[in-house]
């Protein structure tokens, strides 16, 4: 019997010029991930972060296939360079007031189910989660 972590529910063959790659999809539940997402293998190697498993939604898998079809390469996933205690500005969104709150990063970046990177930011004694792409480094 096949091990659950070796069960694949689908695959995609992608070609760029004469270069081909095979994208294999395994249900995330078989690897301890959230339902409805996939762990991806590219040419028999897991597409992961350096230190942990990566689970992609269907849109991210499609974007991965399109990236290879358009350029012939797939860039590795990189964790944003935003260390703990880094000073940041958070958009305030209040008309007529100063445009930013000042704070500092209180956690390592976390990739959420929506595919975005988030960090905990300390602002005026409280802690809030903010997307990394909305923050401005000081």
* DSSP letter string, 39-102: EEEETTEE---SSS---B-HHHHHHHHHHHHHHS--PPP------TT-EEEEE---TTS-SEEE
Q: What percent of the chain has pLDDT over 90?
A: 38
**What is the overall mean pLDDT for the chain?**
87
Burial class (CB in 10 A: 0-12, 13-18, 19+), 59: exposed
Question: For 59-95, how does the pLDDT look when each residue is reduced to its tens digit (9 = 90+)?
Answer: 889 989 998 898 888 877 778 889 999 999 998 877 7
Map out the domains of the chain as residue ranges.
Answer: 4-71, 87-137
Q: Phi first, then psi: what are they for 15, rounded to 5°?
A: -125, 140
Per the structure block, which two tokens stand in for 39? 């762990």
- In the predicted model, what is the mean pLDDT of residues 25-49? 90
Question: How high is the pLDDT of residue 106?
Answer: 94
pLDDT-based confidence at residue 114 (cuts at 50, 70, 90): low
- CB contact set of 32 (below 8 Å; sequence gap of 6+): 53
Q: How far apart are CA 7 and CA 25, in angstroms?
A: 9
Per the structure block, which two tokens stand in for 124? 């005026």
Which comes out higher in pLDDT, residue 76 or 23?
Answer: 23
Question: How high is the pLDDT of residue 14?
Answer: 92
Q: Phi first, then psi: what are they for 81, rounded to 5°?
A: -85, 85
Q: How far apart are CA 66 and CA 74, in angstroms?
A: 9
Closest of 75, 38, 35 to residue 54, by C-alpha: 38
Does position 100 have pLDDT exceeding 90, yes or no?
no
């Amino acid at each position: 019997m096949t091990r659950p972590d070796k069960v694949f529910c689908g695959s995609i063959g992608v070609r760029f010029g004469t270069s081909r790659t095979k994208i294999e999809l395994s249900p995330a539940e078989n690897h301890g991930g959230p339902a409805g997402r996939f762990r991806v293998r590219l040419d028999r190697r897991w597409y992961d972060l350096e230190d942990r498993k990566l689970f992609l939604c269907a849109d991210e898998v499609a974007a991965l296939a399109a990236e290879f079809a358009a350029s012939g390469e797939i860039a590795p996933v990189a964790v944003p360079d935003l260390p703990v205690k880094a000073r940041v500005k958070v958009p305030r969104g209040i008309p007529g007031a100063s445009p930013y709150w000042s704070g500092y990063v209180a956690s390592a970046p976390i990739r959420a189910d929506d595919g975005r990177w988030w960090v905990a930011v300390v602002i005026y004694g409280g802690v809030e989660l903010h997307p990394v792409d909305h923050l401005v480094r000081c």
